[in-house]
Each structure stands twice: as C-alpha cells, then as structure tokens.
Chain A
C-alpha cells in the first residue's frame, strides 16, 4: 500500500473524529453541565447534614434519609409515607381518567373530515398555552364555595354545607386530569391515525363483539401511543407541584410539595435532596414496570418509551 494513501486515511479518520466532536460536543456539554453535575450535587447534598441556619454541610450522614423515612424528634410518623403513597395513588387515578377520556377524543378526531382535524387538535392543545398557575387559579374560582359547581355538589350531598369542592383530593385529581389531557390525546391520535381498520373488521368477522374487537384489534395497535402518553402524563403528574399546592390543601400534599417545602420554608436542603432522590427512584421503577407491561401486552415486542 503506498504511504500517501496511509496518510490520507489517517487524516480522514481524524476528520471524522473532529466532525463527531464538533457535532456532539455542545449537546454533551449541555448534559454534563445541566444534568450530570447537578445530579451529582443533589446526590451528595442528600448525604450532608443540615446546619443550624439551614446551610448544608459536613459531616456526611444519613440524617436526611432517616427524616425522610419518618423518624423525627417525636419518634416515627407515617406522614411522608402517606405523601408518597398519595402521590402514587393520585398519579394512577389521574392517568387512568386521562386514558379513559382520551381514547374517545382521539378516535373521534380521526373520524372527522381531514380539514377539521388540525382545528380539533388545536382545540385540545390551546389551553396548555396559558400558564399552568393561571389555569389552576381558574379552577380555584370554579370550585370555590358558593359557586354553581360547589352548590350542585352540596345539593347532591357530596360535600358538607358551606364548603367548596376545593381544597380537596378531588380538586387535585381534576387539576391533574385537566392539565395532562393533551399529552395523552396527541400520541393516541397519532396511533389512531395509523390504525389498520381491516383488523377491526377481521375481529368482528371472526365473531368478536364490539368490545372484544376493541381489545383484539384497536388496543394492541394503539398501545405504543398509549404507553408514550402514560409516560408523558404520569411522570410529570407524579412530581406535580402547582396543582396540589393550589387545589390540594395540607391533606392532599404530593411528593413534589414535600421537596419544594424543604428548599423553601423549611430550609432543609439535605432532606429535600433525599426526597427528590426518592421521587426519581419511584419514577424510574414506574417506567421500568410500564415497559415490562408494554412488552407483555404487545406480544413480546419491545415497546419504545
């Protein structure tokens, strides 16, 4: 092989490396500065001790985790455990309701005339263009005492007299469903748009009732969209701060409020960091379970989330 060729090959390789560095470096740098380093900082913070004036410092200890597990000056209390379980429960209920509401909406949009569909999708998305805090304040007004909704609930005996529908767990669920509906409708719509309707016809032709045809032909086809939607809804809902803060009151606090509280009023950063790590762990476990579920329901096929 002539030496000149060897040289050009080497320079070619160097050029490839340089291109690779130039194209990926900004993104990699971004991730390192804004994800890796803060995460490491958060992890180390969780093992620090809270100082008398709320400043984190040495020595390293497990105090924050002990506190998180519910051990305080007055012995063990289940408060944090309740908050975690409540967050999980709220997430499951809200996501479930969002799924049930989104299926008919997404399907209905695909049955509309092609010219109407972008408008309908826009109608689903437009509310989320307003600030979340403002929208949640809107719900506070709607659900407050002596509003038509609260009066109706009182009349039906659902809530005691002179009370509003907020603050309550119900209001939090409502707020979560309202906020995250578009994130489920859009991926489901994308799945419905690609739906092979002959599979539905085949199922009905093979004696499936409409309900069973849905499970046999529609559900498996929309599963990737559904799972994408579940992740888009459940992960932010689990860490939600604004909605439970404004609509929940003290007894409907979620884990996001617990974390936020430690970094603001309570000024216990290590405790807050530990709670944030717990939240992260719970989210990762949730996604892992979802993937396994998706794989089983999808007939062994890997579902990318």
Chain B
C-alpha cells in the first residue's frame, strides 16, 4: 500500500521532470516551423529547402563536418553554461575566446618547446588569455557592482581592437601589409600544432562503415572538448564547489546564509568560464589554419550562449545542443548553396529558437508549479 503510493509519487515526479525538461524540443520545433514559413514566404518551397538541408547535412561528409565543427560550439556552450549555473551572464565569451586564441597563437609561434609540452603550453595560453579577459568584468562586478553583462560587452569591443593592434604590431607575421585582410601572426611551430586523430577515430568509426574525410578536422581539440564536457559535468553535479556554484546561481541570499563566500564563488565561476572560453578558438588556430588572425570565425560566443540555454546549462546537454547548432550552421550553407534562402536566415532563426525555448520553459514551469500546488493541497 505504501509502496504503491510511493510509486505513484515517483511516476508523477518523473512526469513533472519530463514536462520541465521538454521546452528545448518544443522551442526547436517552433523555430523550425517559423523557418519553414519564412522559406515559403520568400518563394521557396519548404520541401525543397528541407531536401537541401537533409541532403547537404546527412551525407557522410555532411555528418563528418557537423561533428567536427561542433567542437568549438560545444566548448563555447560549456563556457556559457558554467557561468549561467553560477548566476552569471558571460556575454564576454566572444572576446575571451578571441583573446585566448591570440595568446595560444603567440605561444605556438614564438616559443620553442618539445612537442607534447608545447601543445600543453598552447592550451594553457588559450585558457590564460580567456581568463585574463574575464578578469576585469568579474572584478568590476564583485568589487564595484558593475553588471557583468555591461562589463563583458565592453571587453568584447575592446578585444577586437586589441587583437587587431597586437597582430598588426608586435605579433605580425606578414610585415608590410598593415591592416590587410591577410593580417595574421607567424605560423605556429610544428611542435605546437595539434596532432590529427583521423587514423584513430576512423579505425573506430570504420567498424560502422563511417570515415571522416581528410579535409575535415579530426584533431586534438576533440579531446579538449570531451575533457571539458566531462570535467564540467563532474564539477557541477558531483563536487562541492559545483554545488556552491549552483547555490550562488539560484539564490545568493540563501548562499550567504549557508556561509558560501559569494564573491569568491562568482570569481571562481567566471574564471572557469573564461578558461573554457579561451579554448574555443584552438581548433582553428592550432590545427586548421596554424596561425592566429583577427579574421578568425566570429560569433561562436553568442552561439554558445544559445547552446547553453537550449541545454539548460547541463554539460551533457551542451553536447547535443552543440551538435544541433553545428547542424544548423551546415543547414544554412545547404540552403545558401541549393535554394534562394540565404544563410543569414539561420542566424535569425537561432535568435527565435532561444526566445521560444525560454518562453516554453516559463509556461511549462508554471504549469508544473500549479500541479505541484494541487498536490500539496491534497496532502494537507
């Protein structure tokens, strides 16, 4: 009898959790519907667009690209997720990865070190760069009460000018072409370049008949992404530091009551976020182009923000949301190449997706809250 009641409670609990967790799916579907309506509106047939997306994304090369290009997106998602968990809004991932990538590029190009150590130093330089760029906003927040959104946004603006200045000046690898499009640092030393993992990965995926083509990046940055995701999952859900981070994120005054040092925790959270952000650009710098350029892929910070929201700040969820956004990027190119629909529609749609996810989230949470209240009423 008691067991039966307990079981009923448990199944109800599962249902609530499912309801609370389903908003990303609904948000995604809603955004897709909006996209198809827009596609139809500009005179392209939705089935045509869908066909282009599917054939371009789900070929062997398409899947390979999606997986490979999800790496920086996942890392950026993780950087955003940890900040959100701690109640911080790190819009500065954008600037942090830009500066981190510069630091990594400089460390790779100017230092002389044996291979494994040099790679490690490149990774650490990236993290240090990201942390440095996160440092000023978090200090301003903790000591001066400047909202981190304002602080990080300003640092983003400053970052793009500073890297341009540094690569144009002290770290210029193409002298005499000031401010040119080809502006970049010198090439990384061979000792600093990320090793390729094609052989290893293909030997595993080959069992299922899947091969990553040579022109798709399968490299050490995959390992970085995996370590970041697992490490973050462990930090957030298993460690006491992670619990404190979540406490501060959910309720600062209860955290004070519980004796958590809020300033220290906020600082730590932001440093972790900045360090992870510093890794976002490494695939491009240390494997694909082998130099740093101010023209490095932009916008990954904001994509990561969307990824984190979609994943509800769960590190494992970030992997799936990252793959989804990588797919969306790919889908954008598919549309651009084979239909009248420009790539930029995908950017607009990701904005709509964030909005619809958070709106659905609110609606469902409220609904579950009402259901729970009813239950409390029955228990009284």
A, B co-complexed: no
Residues of B within 8 A of A (CB): none
